[in-house]
């Protein structure tokens, strides 16, 4: 677990709990080590579930989300075959914790001897060890919060210290327009939510019945109001709703609080908790997932990820986030706080395509030095956008207002903007919401791997959605300008023209096109044109928005946007 709070008020260290937990039983010498394992099953050939009867495993809200976005049900949506689960459970010493529809797998706790028996079952394809077992903390009592009087938000005084982060992205304008997240369902994955059940800033969640579900995937219970307070801080930037004290960016949304992070250790089991939580969110009909989490290094014996693994296809959590996006949820994830250390780059699952990865800026819009940079290992632009994560305001479990640094805060602040904008445009798909927010951002015409498309803004996104052209500027080349025209490219046009700076005309060029999800569409290496323009083929491009990255071979690439009608 890597919580993306770089520091709180600059004097607390990056959150990390030691692995010594008082009161845990000591394992006698020679006793096999019990670990959790992800056991992949062979198929779903004989499952009693059917895609023609999805109401057996998906709620009406989940199905409606798919229907609205024209997303078909696929075999991955089917639950695992219960007969296979029964076979695994029948092995003495094997404890099944969870099943995964998307990965067709079960999470099994057992020692290595039992695992060998499980792997020999005809229904099992393979297995991957996730962690060492660890006891969970005792739950704390749940208490009801006191109600607060509601009144419209809109003034600086209403937001308190949260004003700058809301105003920077136009969330205050969004709220005044009547879009505070009403009807939007947001799941927050984190390590604990102490004080949420007692804090005044969260009281309206209970008063208005907007806390739809809570679950602790570490302990398999509903004790979420304990453990680390990182989740509380993150949630406050979204759901805080105490006018005159603190208002988050989606103060009227409906929330789901899911604990996915182990307290005492760091292993890939947390990524599987993320997966299972995402499947739960999907089945319940959640619209948006906020995950201020990331993974790259683990405790022994688990193997660390390398930067080359952050290719959108390798990390467990990345694969889970990708499927979550494929089923129509908008996944918003912190980029990470690695920008000023040796790692530099984003962490999993921020490398997933089709999700909104968020970097951090300060109140003036300057990139926070700690904010992780892109690209993803396969060259895709990351982060997608950025929001305030340096000296961002939040609420402690005690109710005190604090400030801290981390993309942990940039992510939920941006997620609240996405919720309000989606509420304002309910016919959009999740991917269209991402596209509009990117097009609204401060450097939409010149995205880079530091801030992505820049800082999104509700007002500008409204203009884009209404078809009102935004003022744009071409991307600066080496002493000249890079242009693509005509842009938009008309339907049926076979080519578009790329105008080149003089410095590029005598060298081979590299051109890469990425679609709105960040997937690579084409990669071209062109011979030295020795001309001011070259023609790029567009016949194979479907209608949509593309990022065209172009430059001299072996040199940094510049990015310009291309719209295909």
* Both tokens assigned to 91: 């092995």
Beta strands 241-242; 2-3: pairing state: unpaired
Helical packing angle, 269-284 and 316-326, nearest 10°: 10
Closest listed residue to residue 546, CA positions, set 519, 514, 523:
514
Helical packing angle, 269-284 and 60-68, nearest 10°: 90
Q: Nearest 10 degrees: CA dihedral of 299, 302, 308, 312? A: -100
Q: Residue 358 forms beta bridges with which residues?
A: 334, 385
**What beta strand segments (E) does 455-541 contain?**
475-476, 481-485, 495-499, 509-514, 520-526, 533-537
> What sign does the CA torsion over 75, 78, 83, 86 have?
positive
DSSP 129-193: EEEE--PPPPPPPP-PPPP-------SHHHHBTTHHHHHHTTHHHHHHTT-S-TT-EEEEEES--
Separation of alpha carbons 27 and 498, rounded Å: 67
Question: In the Cβ-directed half-sphere of 75, how many Cα atoms lie within 13 Å?
Answer: 8
Separation of alpha carbons 232 and 240, rounded Å: 10
Separation of alpha carbons 292 and 77, rounded Å: 26
Phi, psi of 189 (to 5 degrees): -95, 130
User: Per the omega criterion (within 30 degrees of 0), is the bond before 72 cis?
Assistant: no
Which residues neighbour 356 within 8 Å (Cβ) at sequence distance 6 or greater? Answer: 330, 331, 332, 333, 384, 385, 414, 415, 418, 434, 437
- Residues annotated as catalytic are 190, 230, 408
Return the biggest CA–CA distance within the chain: 76
Beta strands 356-361; 330-334: pairing state: parallel
Separation of alpha carbons 237 and 239, rounded Å: 6
Strand order from edge to edge, sheet including 105-110: 95-100, 105-110, 35-41, 124-132
- Our CA angle for 368, 374, 379, nearest 5°, is 165
Alpha carbon separation from 96 to 99, 118, 137, 274 (Å, rounded): 8, 11, 20, 17
Separation of alpha carbons 38 and 34, rounded Å: 13
> What sign does the CA torsion over 401, 404, 407, 410 have?
positive
- Secondary structure of the chain: what % helix, strand, coil (to 5)? 25, 25, 50
């Amino acid at each position: 677990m890597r919580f993306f709070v770089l520091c709180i008020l600059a004097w607390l260290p990056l959150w990390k709990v030691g692995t010594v937990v008082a009161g845990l039983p000591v394992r006698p010498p020679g006793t096999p080590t019990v670990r959790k394992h992800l056991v992949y099953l062979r198929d779903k050939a004989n499952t009693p579930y059917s895609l023609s009867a999805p109401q057996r495993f998906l709620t009406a809200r989940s199905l409606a989300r798919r229907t609205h976005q024209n997303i078909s049900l696929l075999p991955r949506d089917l639950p695992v075959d219960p007969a296979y689960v029964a076979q695994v459970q029948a092995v003495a010493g094997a404890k099944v914790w969870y099943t995964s529809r998307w990965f067709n797998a079960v999470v099994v706790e057992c020692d290595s001897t039992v695992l060998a028996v499980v792997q020999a079952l005809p229904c099992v394809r393979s297995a991957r060890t996730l962690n060492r077992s660890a006891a969970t903390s005792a739950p704390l009592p749940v208490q009801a919060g006191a109600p607060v009087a509601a009144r419209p938000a809109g003034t600086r005084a209403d937001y308190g210290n949260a004003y700058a982060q809301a105003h920077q992205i136009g969330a205050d304008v969004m709220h005044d327009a009547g879009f505070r997240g009403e009807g939007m369902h947001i799941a927050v994955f984190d390590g604990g939510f102490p004080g949420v059940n007692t804090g005044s800033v969260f009281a309206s969640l209970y008063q208005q019945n907007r806390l739809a579900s809570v679950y602790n995937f570490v302990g398999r219970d509903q004790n979420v109001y304990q453990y680390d307070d990182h989740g509380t801080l993150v949630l406050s930037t979204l759901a805080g709703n105490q006018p005159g004290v603190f208002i988050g960016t989606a103060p009227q949304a409906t929330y789901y609080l899911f604990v996915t992070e182990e307290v005492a250790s760091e292993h890939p089991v947390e990524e599987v908790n993320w997966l299972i939580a995402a499947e739960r969110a999907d089945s319940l009909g959640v619209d948006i997932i906020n995950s201020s989490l990331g993974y790259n290094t683990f405790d022994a014996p688990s193997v660390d990820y390398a930067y080359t693994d952050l290719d959108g296809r390798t990390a467990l959590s990345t694969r889970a986030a990708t499927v979550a996006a494929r089923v129509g949820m908008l996944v918003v994830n912190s980029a990470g706080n690695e920008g000023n250390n040796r790692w530099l780059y984003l962490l999993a699952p921020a490398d997933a395509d089709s999700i909104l990865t968020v970097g951090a800026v300060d109140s003036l819009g300057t990139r926070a030095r700690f904010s992780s940079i892109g690209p993803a290992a396969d060259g895709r632009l990351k982060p997608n956008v950025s929001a305030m994560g340096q000296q961002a305001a939040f609420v402690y479990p005690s109710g005190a207002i604090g400030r801290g640094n981390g993309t942990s805060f940039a992510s939920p602040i941006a997620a609240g903007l996405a919720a309000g904008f989606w509420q304002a445009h309910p016919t959009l798909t999740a991917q269209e919401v991402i596209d509009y927010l990117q097009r609204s951002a401060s450097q939409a015409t010149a995205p880079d791997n530091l801030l992505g498309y820049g800082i999104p803004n509700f007002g500008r996104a409204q203009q884009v959605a209404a078809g009102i052209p935004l003022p744009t500027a071409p991307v600066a080349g080496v002493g000249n300008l890079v242009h693509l025209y005509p842009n938009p490219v008309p339907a049926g046009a076979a080519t578009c023209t790329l105008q080149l700076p003089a410095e590029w005309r005598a060298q081979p060029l590299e051109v890469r096109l990425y679609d709105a999800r960040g997937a690579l569409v084409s990669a071209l290496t062109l011979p030295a044109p020795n001309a001011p323009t070259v023609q790029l083929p567009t016949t194979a491009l479907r209608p949509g928005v593309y990022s065209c990255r172009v430059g001299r071979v072996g040199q940094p690439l510049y990015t310009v946007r291309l719209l295909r009608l």
